[in-house]
């Protein structure tokens, strides 16, 4: 991935295609090495926000871009999984710039069924705190499966139960869902049909032009993305690239 991002960044001088809407960035952890390639250090996260602002972007709620109510200079921030560093490191930086944002949680992980989740994933009380201070909370499934590898009954359970658990825990009913793994091969057509049936209005991918049909695009930000790569990312260097292929 590192070499591919370096190579693609060198090839893009201007946007690969005209863009009619904004861009949604997909982060995971901020300063939590356990998430590997998904981790972005806090100093770099702040630099990316400042770089985007200097380039003329403005930050808006992700839902505005997902609903095609945005301009090419609109930018949004989302987080997947519910890593603890979203509260400790990301939220204070976002608050400094008054940036709206969304968090998609894996509901069973928030109950801390293992030592790994207790060490790394936010508990419900912290997610409730984030929601009370303006974060939009959505579902990232019940157990984080690859939807291409489960049957319809399991899909329904993952989508419906995660939504209901968020309602029980936080008193709000989410209408947005982020696909685990998020690439075209991870979201069969049946999953999209079920998502609509159980009450989701928006399903977010983790890809741009290679995303599954009827999903909202997001651009994946990685630990490798210094200023040059992040600039290329904003210009569309990775929009035709399937990260995990």
pLDDT digits (tens, 9 = 90+) for 114-139: 999 999 999 999 999 999 999 999 99
**Does residue 241 belong to any structural domain of this protein?**
no
Instruction: State how far the alpha carbon of 155 is from the alpha carbons of 80, 187, 190, 213, in Å.
Output: 19, 10, 9, 17
**Does residue 245 belong to any structural domain of this protein?**
no
Check which CATH number belongs to the domain holding 148 and give it: 3.20.20.370
pLDDT for 51 equals 97
**Does residue 243 belong to any structural domain of this protein?**
no
pLDDT classification of 72: cutoffs 50, 70, 90: very high
Question: Is the pLDDT score of 105 beyond 80?
Answer: yes
Q: Note the pLDDT tens digit of each residue in 201-243.
A: 999 999 999 999 999 999 999 999 999 999 999 999 889 876 6
pLDDT for 9 equals 55
**Does residue 49 belong to any structural domain of this protein?**
yes
How many domains does one find in the chain?
A: 1
The three-state DSSP-derived secondary structure of the chain is CHHHHHHHHHHCCCCCCCCCCCEEEEECEECCHHHHHHEECHHHHHHHHHHHHHCCCEECCHHHHHCCCCCCCEEEEEEEECECHHHHHHHHHHHHCCCCEEEEECHHHHCCCCHHHHHHECCHHHHHHHHHCCCEEEECCCCCCCHHHCCHHHHHHHHHHHHHHHHHHHCCCCCEEECCCCCHHHCCHHHHHHHHHHCCCEEECCCCCCCCCCCECCEECCCCCCHHHHHHHHCCCCCCCCCCC
**Does residue 17 belong to any structural domain of this protein?**
no
**Does residue 18 belong to any structural domain of this protein?**
no
Strands 39-40 and 58-59: unpaired
**Does residue 223 belong to any structural domain of this protein?**
yes
**Does residue 244 belong to any structural domain of this protein?**
no
pLDDT classification of 69: cutoffs 50, 70, 90: confident
User: Which residue range is the domain that position 212 belongs to?
Assistant: 2-12+23-234
Q: CB–CB of 202/63 below 8 Å? A: yes
Q: What percent of the chain has pLDDT over 70?
A: 91
pLDDT for 238 equals 87
Mean pLDDT (the chain) is 93
């Amino acid at each position: 991935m590192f070499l591919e991002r370096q190579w693609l960044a060198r090839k893009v001088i201007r946007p690969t295609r005209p863009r009619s809407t904004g861009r949604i960035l997909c982060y995971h952890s901020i300063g939590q090495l356990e998430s590997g390639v998904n981790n972005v250090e806090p100093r770099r996260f702040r630099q990316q926000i400042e770089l985007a602002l200097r380039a003329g972007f403005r930050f808006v709620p992700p839902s505005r871009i997902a609903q095609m109510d945005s301009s090419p200079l609109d930018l949004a921030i989302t987080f997947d999984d519910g890593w603890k560093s979203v509260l400790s490191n990301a939220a204070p930086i976002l608050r400094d710039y008054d940036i709206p944002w969304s968090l998609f949680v894996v509901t069973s992980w928030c109950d801390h069924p293992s030592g790994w989740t207790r060490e790394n994933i936010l508990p419900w009380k912290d997610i409730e705190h984030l929601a009370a201070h303006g974060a939009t909370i959505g579902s990232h499934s019940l157990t984080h499966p690859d939807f291409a590898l489960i049957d319809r009954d399991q899909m329904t359970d993952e989508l419906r139960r995660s939504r209901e658990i968020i309602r029980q825990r936080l008193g709000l009913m989410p209408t947005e869902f982020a696909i685990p793994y998020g690439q075209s091969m991870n979201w069969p057509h049946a999953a999209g049909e079920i998502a609509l049936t159980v009450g989701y209005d928006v399903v977010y991918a983790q890809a741009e032009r290679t995303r599954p049909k009827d999903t909202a695009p997001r651009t994946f930000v990685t630990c490798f993305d210094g200023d040059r790569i992040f600039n290329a990312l904003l210009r569309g260097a990775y929009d035709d690239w399937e990260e995990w292929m």
